[in-house]
A and B are shown apart, each in its own frame.
Chain A
């Protein structure tokens, strides 16, 4: 630790003492709390699993782009879905299988029937949580903001004063409340443009998600999301996974402005070809 960091930490400690605000762990569960007694969710978090490949259990698979070899392979992982497979309606399961076949584009261009992550489109909820990128939570008694490293994804979540969605959106419309030590977020007003993973799991615009963030200790949260969409599923179903506090030195979100990453894919055909002399 550098001298300046030590000085900063000492100064911060003095401020905490002065205003009586405490990040100290309570002896029972080791949960950090804010001054108003709620669990302190502030920080940079990340899932550490392979749910973004497939919410359900999946083995290793080769890369769809042969040239990328093992770097592009699908990493294996167990299911994050509770109580068996995702309960699709029969016709919806057929659509999922179709999605799975078409997840990667076959040609250059801007295709809308592929995995939206390939196009760098906003990920929706809950997918934003288990993308392989960190996200940062900002918390006050009135509002929680979650800013994701992926593209420009972010959410404003007012607490205890539910508001109505003015319009549907990729990230949906979030309203938060506390249920004991669990932060509960009700999310509605989605589009049908987002997928749940790279394997074609999807939903309709009737999607309704209820998320639960429960601290397990100072550096872990349990994340649960109940997914309800009567047009696509026969019953509500739930995923759950731990989230880990990123402990890296000087960790911060960096720019991942992926619209730039896909410009060649989307726009190559319109580029001016200059004769090489």
Chain B
């Protein structure tokens, strides 16, 4: 985090109102055959570590004004024609970005970062080519509705997002509004991705197999390899409890469990200052085809990763649940009185 905005970090998250929005539509037709996504190659050759791996060490950030899905009014237009067109669009469409000095703004506006990484794509999703999530399988759509319906009860801590519980953000990394600084650290045979917010991913590069299938983790289990200057990371062993996008940091629509996900991430260094990050999500039980998003990362030399002591000060989760119980009790009282 920037020194000007030191982390109080009492609470990660707003209590997010999760609505059943038509983010994804159920499968209506036979999905077309899909070939494996291959990221565009880069001619840039990064410097090497003393042991010969591409050296990506340091702090990176990936703030963006581009949404996961292509807005309907940009349908058919995969890229902005120029920086000027991108900037003009960003000025009008950046959500919740210009509220300082114009109205009261969002309650958590203070935390929001502003160093957006330029991206001429009109959606983060680059495959399917229409820039939208592919259809869910009918079973997954049914399961998603059940999960979202249950989540609105706030009956248990399990109905809250992992971020609100100070457990985890998401793998793959979606954009998030604040504290998205990410440190890449390397040692022979390993790469570590330190997200300021909660997660430390430690990825072996020695060709070992995944952990045993009984171990299911919030960020899954990652193994990686270098293909030239490109880092490829494959992640499985996600827990089914990792679900419910919709809070800040999401890269998957609300109510979709990660349990069967296979995530393949490609880190393509394209300059000393920029990595093109791609993530392909595959799960035939959930999606009718794999999909891929592309989030550019940019070096940030002024960013120092600070402690994100989230759980230590998280009294909001208990307060939110207590509030729900009070509302239920009041509703029950009214019901009694009306008899």
**A residues with CB within 8 A of B:** 4-5, 7-8, 12, 15-16, 18-19, 21, 23, 34-36, 42, 110, 120-122, 136-140, 143, 145, 147, 151-152, 154, 156, 166-167, 169-171, 193, 250, 252-255, 257, 259-260, 263, 266-267, 270-272, 274
Contact = CB atoms under 8 A, between A and B. Distances in A.
B307 A122 contact: yes
B305 A156 contact: yes
A120 B311 contact: yes
Contacts of B328: 272
Given A8-B207, A254-B211, A254-B217, A259 B192 contact: no
A272 B325 CA distance: 7
A254 to B, nearest CB: 7
A267 B51 contact: no
Contacts of B187: 42, 137-139
Nearest to B192: A138
Contacts of B218: 255, 257
Interface residues of B, number: 58
Interface string B299-314: 0000011111111101
B50 interface: yes
Nearest to B328: A272
Contacts of B153: 272
Contact of B309 (A8, A21, A147, A169): A169
Given A110-B315, A152-B200, 7 more contacts: A121-B309, A139-B187, A140-B186, A145-B183, A171-B307, A252-B204, A271-B157
B155 A152 contact: no
Q: For the complex, would chain B's binding face be called helix, strand, loop or mixed by DSSP majority? A: loop
A169 B309 CA distance: 8
Contacts of A274: 155
Nearest to A264: B157
Contacts of B156: 271-272
Contacts of B304: 156, 166
A267 B325 contact: no
B194 A267 contact: no
Interface in B122-174: 153-157, 165-168
B22 interface: no
Contact of A21 (B51, B207, B312): B51
Interface stretch (B68-76, B243-251, B258-266, B316-324): B316-324
Contacts of B306: 166-167, 169
Nearest to A18: B52
9 contacts: A21-B50, A36-B50, A140-B57, A156-B304, A170-B312, A250-B209, A253-B202, A259-B166, A259-B311
A125 to B, nearest CB: 12
Given A35-B50, A151-B311, A272-B324, A5 B206 contact: yes
Interface string B321-339: 1101100100000000000
A154 B200 contact: yes
